[in-house]
A and B are shown apart, each in its own frame.
Chain A
Amino acid sequence: MSQKTCLYDNHKNHGAKIVDFAGWEMPINYGSQMDEHHQVRADAGMFDVSHMTVVDLQGDRVKPFLQKLLANDVARLKESGKALYSAMLNENGGIIDDLIVYYMRDDWFRMVVNAATRDKDLAWIHQQAAEFEVTVTERPEMAMIAVQGPNARDKALSVLPEGVAEAATDLKRFNGVAVGDWFVARTGYTGEDGFEIILPEVKAPDFWEALFAAGVKPIGLGARDTLRLEAGMNLYGTDMDETTSPLTSNLGWTIAWEPEERDFIGREKIAAEKAAGVTHKLVGLVLEDKGVLRGHMKVLCDAGEGETTSGSFSPSLKQSIALARVPVGIGESCEVEVRNKHLKARVVKPVFFREGKSCL
């Protein structure tokens, strides 16, 4: 049974090619994935991410609850609207999901989790929330539109409702602000500046068209994937899952080890893994030969074998790139097995292109 977001008719009217994504009928592109990718890097594009799950967590003990639930520490959030990226781990230290949590008030946090993991996330959160008497409220009546690119904020500000625009103008990176039933955050999944805007579904179709009239072009899931890959951002279910730890998923930076007494779920396992020394890490690969890297290709290096987790042609770099889980002893170069041929690749930090510039 497939679901549609409140922007489905807008997508059809803008010529979208629709595909199934985690049970949702979503636009893969509106013509050319390549043009859409460049549109975001050079100007401004908008993504319908209403399929993602917005969850409000409320209660007097919501902060200690999240300090147990998440590997990152919400105590780092001091100002209202501030965002934190975190992994949610199981008892084995495997990643249940990655998410963004916003501090709204002392007794209210808002979380945005992946659509594909919605059911298991909600079950897990409910299960953990009980002892903290935290209320878990999904917000399916909310739409979410990401507006990304160097001109995205200016163009979005020109059409945001009065009051909302004023409040969003001076937002710092990774901060958000709620105005009435709108919420605007300076976050995203492309490596470009921009906003993620949560708004009531009933207002979303008109707002989408207002953004379009302001020169923000619709962008499909295809370009969303190449943009996030260039930015070196993991995709849940592809680059990481319940069998991988944050330490082997390039998410070590999201684990708050201090204070030592904070007993978050999975801590014991990943602390032991860290103490013993990790065997693998997630790196970036840049293909030096001609060809295209994809997920699940074998990586060969002196230190052993690894595997690509995501790969694509990078429209910005005009060569192929990949994320790969490889032995920690990998050097500066390796080979990737592509259709029985061994192609040369350079090993780099897993971030390729952000804010209009190559990171290589």
Chain B
Amino acid sequence: MSQVPTDLRYTSSHEWVRLEDDGTVTVGITDHAQDALGDLVFVELPEIGSELAQGDACCVVESVKAASDIYMPISGEIVDTNQSLVDEPEIINNSSYDDGWIFKIKPNDEDDIEELMDASSYESELEDE
């Protein structure tokens, strides 16, 4: 069974989202997603400063097997990216919810997060897959 921390929000495209104290939102991919992709070998990070809408493909993670798009979970501006992933994409495999975060968003509307799935909804969606 893959890990689904209860303090995060989730999308059906397997991103996780965490609202930080400073009002930014951290985004990564779930344990289930990293397991399905397998050993990651490349991450194409989004550009800081780009303003994107919910559902936009904003960056790409590639495993030995395949490339996979990461989508904006909510609309906003990219304010930070995890540079350690450039040389060590496997951090996502080892720590998908902590050291393996991918980017941070300044949300257009913080309340958009409430629309995303909570842990139990995401877990039941995984069970249906």
Q: Which residues of A contact B (CB under 8 A)?
A: 29, 32-34, 37, 222, 226, 290-292, 294, 312-313, 315, 320, 339
Given that A290-B86, A294-B67 are contacting pairs, would A313 and B62 also be in contact in the complex, using a CB cutoff of 8 Å?
Answer: yes
**Is B126 in contact with chain A by the CB < 8 A criterion?**
no
Contacting residues, chain A, for B64 (C-beta < 8 A): 33-34, 37, 222, 226, 312-313, 315
Chain A CB within 10 A, most for which of B38, B41, B64, B65: B64
Specify which chain B residues have a CB less than 8 angstroms from the CB of A37 in the assembled complex.
Answer: 64
CA distance in complex: A315, B39 (Å): 10
Q: Is the pair B42, A313 in contact by a Cβ cutoff of 8 Å?
A: yes
B48 part of interface (Cβ distance < 8 Å):
no
**B86 A339 Cβ-Cβ under 8 A:** no
Contacts of B65 in A (CB 8 A): 33, 222
Q: Could you tell me if A339 and B41 are in contact, using CB atoms closer than 8 angstroms?
A: no
B residues near A, CB below 8 A?
Answer: 38-39, 41-42, 44, 60, 62, 64-67, 86
Known: A222-B64, A292-B62, A292-B67. A34 touches B86 (CB 8 A): no
Report whether B38 and A291 are in contact in the complex, using a CB–CB cutoff of 8 Å.
no
Considering only CB atoms, which chain A residue lies closest to B93 in the complex? A32
The interface residues of chain B lying within 8 Å CB-to-CB of A315 are 64
A46 to B86, CA, bound (A): 33
Bound CA–CA A315/B67 (angstroms): 16
Query: Of A32, A222, A292, which is within 8 A of B41 by CB?
Result: A292
C-alpha spacing A226/B38, complex, angstroms: 14
A33-B65, A226-B64, A315-B64 are contacts. A291–B42 as well, Cβ < 8 Å?
yes
Inter-subunit contact A222/B38 (CB<8 Å): yes
Bound complex: CA A33 to CA B38 (Å):
7
Which residues in A have their C-beta under 8 angstroms from that of B60? 339
Q: How far is the CA of A33 from the CA of B36 in the complex (A)?
A: 12
The 10 A-B residue pairs with the shortest CB-CB distance, nearest first, are A34-B39, A313-B41, A292-B62, A292-B42, A33-B64, A313-B64, A33-B38, A32-B39, A33-B39, A291-B42
Q: List 23 A-B contacts (CB under 8 A).
A: A29-B38, A33-B64, A34-B39, A34-B64, A37-B64, A222-B38, A222-B64, A222-B65, A226-B64, A290-B42, A290-B86, A291-B42, A291-B44, A292-B42, A292-B62, A292-B67, A294-B67, A312-B64, A313-B42, A313-B64, A315-B64, A320-B42, A339-B60
Distance in angstroms from B15 CB to nearest chain A CB is 19
**Residues of the A chain whose Cβ atoms lie less than 8 Å from the Cβ of B41:** 292, 313
**A294 vs B68: C-alpha distance when bound (angstroms):** 12
State the Cβ distance, B30 to closest chain A Cβ, in Å: 17
Complex CA gap A222/B39 in Å reads 11
A290 CB contacts on chain B under 8 angstroms: 42, 86
Complex-state Cα separation, A37 to B39, whole angstroms: 11
CA separation between A339 and B58, bound complex, in Å?
12
Q: Which residues of A contact B38 (CB under 8 A)?
A: 29, 32-34, 222
Q: CA of A32 to CA of B90 in the docked complex: distance in angstroms? A: 12
Instruction: Please give the distance in Å from B46's CB to the nearest CB on chain A.
Output: 13
Say how far A58's CB is from chain B's closest CB, in angstroms: 41
